[in-house]
Amino acid sequence: MTDRLPGFNTLAIHAGAAPDKTTGARATPIYQTASFVFDDVDHAASLFGLQAFGNIYSRITNPTNAVLEERIAALEGGTAAVAVASGHAAEFLTMNALMQPGDEFIAANKLYGGSINQFNHAYKNFGWNVVWADTDDPSSFERAITPRTRAIFCESIANPGGVVTDIAALSDIAKRHNIPLVVDNTMATPYLIRPFEHGADIVVHSATKFLGGHGNSIGGLVVDGGTFNWAGDDRYPTLSKPRPEYAEMVLAENFGNFAFAIAIRVLGLRDLGPALAPFNAFLILNGIETLPLRMQRHCDNALAIANHLAHHPAVAWVSYPGLETDRYHGLARRYSPLGSGAVFTIGLKGGYEAGVKLVSNLQLFSHLANIGDTRSLVIHPASTTHRQLTDPQKITAGAGPEVVRLSIGLEDPADLIEDLDAALA
Ligand SMILES: *Cc1c(COP(=O)(O)O)cnc(C)c1O
C-alpha cells in the first residue's frame, strides 16, 4: 500500500474493522455485554480517571459501537465520533456540551419536524433558547448573533427535502464570530456531502435513515471535526473549565482536537445515558458497507421519479434540487454533485383530498413516518406529522394541504412510476 488514503467505497467497508483477534471472525462481532473485566486495580483506576482508553461499561463505550464510530469518523473526515441511541440523542448531547442555562443557538428554519419540536419545547426545560433564521438567507444568521450565541445549527440537505443549505456561507459567519457550526447530515450522508470540507465543526446524524438504510434500527452519531478551539474559551465551560468529576481535568487541554467527542462520551453518555445497543450498531455497520451503492441508486431513482412527476397532469409542482429548473439546483451542483438525495415533496393540484387519496391508493409505497429505507415511503404531512398545526403554520413548514413527501427506495423505477400513475389516476 502507498500513502494514498483509501477511497470512500473502501472506507465504507473497512474503516474501524479488523478480523476479531480471538476468533478470526471477519464480520464485526456483536459485543452483547454490559461490562468489561479490568486487568487489575490500577487498570481500573486509570480507566475511571481517563488516563487510559478502554472499556468499562457499555453505556460509555462498547467494541461493536467503536467500529461504527471509527467508520463514520473516517467517512466524514472527522477526528472522532460517538454512537448514541438516536438522531435526537445526538442533537441533544451536542447541545448539552455547548449550552448553559440562558444560552442561545441559531437554527435554520428548514429542519426535520422532530428537531423543531425538540428545540422549541424540550430545550426550554434546560434554559436553552433557539433563535430561528432563514435557511435561504445566510445574513439572517449573522443578524441573529448575540453575546449568548453558542452554536449555529442547520441540515446539509433539509428535511422534508428539496432544500440545499449554503454550508460554506454559514461557516464564514460562524468563523467570523468564533461560534461552532453544527450540521445535521442525515439526509445527504457523507456519500453526497461532507460538511467538514465546507467548514462545519460538528456533524450529527440520525443513523436510522440512510446510514442504516434498511428501516430496522434507531441510532445516532456525533462526529467531531476537530476544528474548533475550545481551550481557554469561557463560553464553553464543559470543555474549557476543570471537571470536578475527573480530578479537575480540562477536556480541551487534555484531548485537543477530539475533546468534543470525549465530552459527548464521558459527560453526555455517561451522565445522561442514551447509549446505542451493540446490536443496532451491528445493523448500522452492515448498512454502511453498501452506503455508496445505495445512495447512488436512491438518487438516480429519485431523479427519474421527480422528472416523471414534474410532467404529470395531476401534479402542480415538484421540489427536487436535482431538477434543472429547481431553485436549489445551483447549490445542489456545488455541494452534492453526485445526486440530490432521495427525499422530496410534490404539490397536488387536487389539494388535501388528493393527498389523502394518493397515500391510500399507493401499493408499492409504504405510508409511514420515516425516510431512508430500501423501500419507497410516502406521507401526507397535513393529515399526519403536521396535523396539529394551523393552516398558515403548515404552509410555513412546507406542509401545506396539497403537499406529499416521498422517500424513494431502491426498487425498479418503472414499478414505482407505475404505482404512482395508478394511484394518481
Ligand atoms: C430522523 C431525523 C432526526 C431524528 O433522528 P431519530 O433517529 O429519529 O431520533 C434528526 N434529523 C433528521 C434530518 C432526521 O431525518
Strands 80-84 and 157-158: unpaired
User: What's the CA-to-centroid distance between 284 and ligand 1, angstroms?
Assistant: 14
236 & 376 share domain: no
Per-residue CA distances from 143 to 133, 202, 382, 418 (Å):
9, 22, 32, 48
List the grid coordinates of 349. 393540484
Q: Does 2 fall in a domain?
A: no
349 & 278 share domain: no
Q: Does 263 fall in a domain?
A: yes
| pLDDT tens per residue, range 298-324 | 999 999 999 999 999 999 999 999 999
Q: Does 364 fall in a domain?
A: yes
**What local confidence, expressed as pLDDT, does residue 3 receive?**
77
Q: How many domains does the chain have?
A: 2
List the grid coordinates of 192. 453526497
303 & 278 share domain: no
Q: What angle (nearest 5°) sits at the alpha carbon of residue 363, between those of residues 360 and 365?
A: 90
Q: Does the beta carbon of 185 sit less than 6 angstroms from any atom of ligand 1?
A: no
Of 91, 93, 112, the one to substitute when testing ligand 1's pocket (max ligand atoms within 8 A of C-beta) is 112
Cα dihedral angle (233, 234, 236, 242), rounded to 10 degrees?
100
Q: Does the beta carbon of 64 sit less than 6 angstroms from any atom of ligand 1?
A: no
Q: Does 3 fall in a domain?
A: no
- Nearest CA among 93, 96, 98, 199 for reference residue 148: 98
Of 209, 217, 276, 405, the one to substitute when testing ligand 1's pocket (max ligand atoms within 8 A of C-beta) is 209
Overall average pLDDT of the 323-336 stretch: 97
Q: Does the beta carbon of 114 sit less than 6 angstroms from any atom of ligand 1?
A: yes
**What local confidence, expressed as pLDDT, does residue 232 receive?**
96
Q: In this structure, what DSSP letter does residue 258 have?
A: G
| pLDDT tens per residue, range 257-302 | 999 999 999 999 999 999 999 999 999 999 999 999 999 999 999 9
Confidence tier at 162 by pLDDT (50, 70, 90): confident
User: What's the CA-to-centroid distance between 12 and ligand 1, angstroms?
Assistant: 21
pLDDT above 70 (res 1): no
Overall average pLDDT of the 236-265 stretch: 97
355 & 368 share domain: yes
Q: Does 35 fall in a domain?
A: yes
CB atoms within 10 A of CB 313: 7
Of 186, 345, 371, 405, the one to substitute when testing ligand 1's pocket (max ligand atoms within 8 A of C-beta) is 186
**What local confidence, expressed as pLDDT, does residue 95 receive?**
98
Q: For ligand 1, what atom is nearest to the CA of residue 187? A: 13
Of 208, 210, 284, 385, the one to substitute when testing ligand 1's pocket (max ligand atoms within 8 A of C-beta) is 208
d(CA 348, CA 355): 7
**What local confidence, expressed as pLDDT, does residue 169 receive?**
98
Q: Does the beta carbon of 63 sit less than 6 angstroms from any atom of ligand 1?
A: no
Count how many Cα atoms sit within 13 Å of the Cα of residue 259 in the half-sphere of its side chain.
24
280 & 299 share domain: no
- Nearest CA among 276, 282, 288 for reference residue 209: 288
Q: Does 331 fall in a domain?
A: yes
List the grid coordinates of 21. 483477534
Confidence tier at 392 by pLDDT (50, 70, 90): confident
Q: Give the residue from 254, 287, 320 where a domain finishes.
A: 287
Q: Does 267 fall in a domain?
A: yes
User: What's the CA-to-centroid distance between 184 and ligand 1, angstroms?
Assistant: 9
pLDDT above 70 (res 2): no
28 & 86 share domain: yes
Q: Return the percentage of the chain with pLDDT > 70, whole number.
A: 99
298 & 174 share domain: no
Q: Does the beta carbon of 205 sit less than 6 angstroms from any atom of ligand 1?
A: no
User: What's the CA-to-centroid distance between 84 and ligand 1, angstroms?
Assistant: 12
d(CA 6, CA 8): 7
Q: Give the residue from 268, 287, 306 where a domain finishes.
A: 287
* Residue 357 backbone zone (phi > 0: left; psi -120 to 50: alpha; other: beta): alpha
User: What's the CA-to-centroid distance between 113 and ligand 1, angstroms?
Assistant: 9
pTM value is 0.97
Confidence tier at 6 by pLDDT (50, 70, 90): very high
Q: Give the residue from 287, 302, 327 where a domain finishes.
A: 287
298 & 279 share domain: no
CB atoms within 10 A of CB 170: 26
- Check which CATH number belongs to the domain holding 220 and give it: 3.40.640.10
The gap from C-alpha 31 to its chain's centroid, in whole angstroms, comes to 25
Confidence tier at 385 by pLDDT (50, 70, 90): confident
Q: Does the beta carbon of 218 sit less than 6 angstroms from any atom of ligand 1?
A: yes
234 & 303 share domain: no
Q: Does the beta carbon of 208 sit less than 6 angstroms from any atom of ligand 1?
A: yes
Cell numbers 423501500 correspond to what residue?
375
311 & 377 share domain: yes
H or E element in which residue 297 lies:
helix 291-310
22 & 128 share domain: yes
| pLDDT tens per residue, range 52-107 | 999 999 999 999 999 999 999 999 999 999 999 999 999 999 999 999 999 999 99
Confidence tier at 240 by pLDDT (50, 70, 90): very high
Q: Which domain holds residue 59?
A: 8-287
Q: What angle (nearest 5°) sits at the alpha carbon of residue 154, between those of residues 151 and 156?
A: 140
Non-local CB neighbours of 328 within 8 Å, separated by 6+ positions: 162, 163, 164, 321
72 & 203 share domain: yes
- Give the residue with greater pLDDT, 67 vs 400: 67
Q: Does 334 fall in a domain?
A: yes
- Check which CATH number belongs to the domain holding 349 and give it: 3.90.1150.10
Rounded to the nearest 5°, which phi and psi values hold at 135? -50, -35
Q: For ligand 1, what atom is nearest to the CA of residue 111? A: 13
